[in-house]
């Protein structure tokens, strides 16, 4: 499995009603400095209906970007049970997910 596929594997672990961050996914990959690369992979996601990249937000609870536009990201988040107010996730600490099942593949490459 390549890095992009593994990143998508991680993001698919985020349960309904929860979000995670670019940095948390990068840590689960094994390299915290990989957060920008995670963002790029989310942006290039070929199918937002089967790979929930909309669940990835910034570490301060702000929305970050979304290839289909922020209005669509907000719509998807709300449909998933996540509240958004003024461009931020409501109760971010409560809905933050960081319990990835991972083998930290990038650590092995260092």
**Which residue in the list 14, 42, 53, 84 is annotated as catalytic?**
53
Is 58 a known active-site residue?
Answer: no
HEC states along the chain?
A: CCHHHHHHHHHCCCCCCCEEEHHHHHHHHCCHHHHHHHHHHHHCCCCCCCCCHHHEECCCCECCCCCCCHHHHHHHHHHCCCCEECCEECCHHHHECCCCCCCCHHHHHC
Catalytic residues: 53
């Amino acid at each position: 499995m390549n890095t992009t596929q593994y990143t998508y594997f991680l993001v698919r672990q985020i349960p309904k009603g929860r979000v995670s961050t670019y940095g948390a996914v990068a840590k689960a990959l094994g390299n915290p400095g990989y957060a920008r690369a995670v963002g790029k992979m989310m942006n290039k996601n070929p199918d937002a209906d089967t790979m929930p990249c909309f669940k990835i937000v910034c570490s301060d609870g702000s929305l970050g970007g979304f290839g289909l536009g922020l209005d669509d990201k907000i719509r998807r988040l709300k449909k998933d049970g996540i509240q958004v107010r003024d461009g931020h996730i409501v109760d971010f600490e409560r809905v933050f997910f960081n319990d990835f099942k991972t083998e930290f593949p990038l650590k092995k490459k260092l």
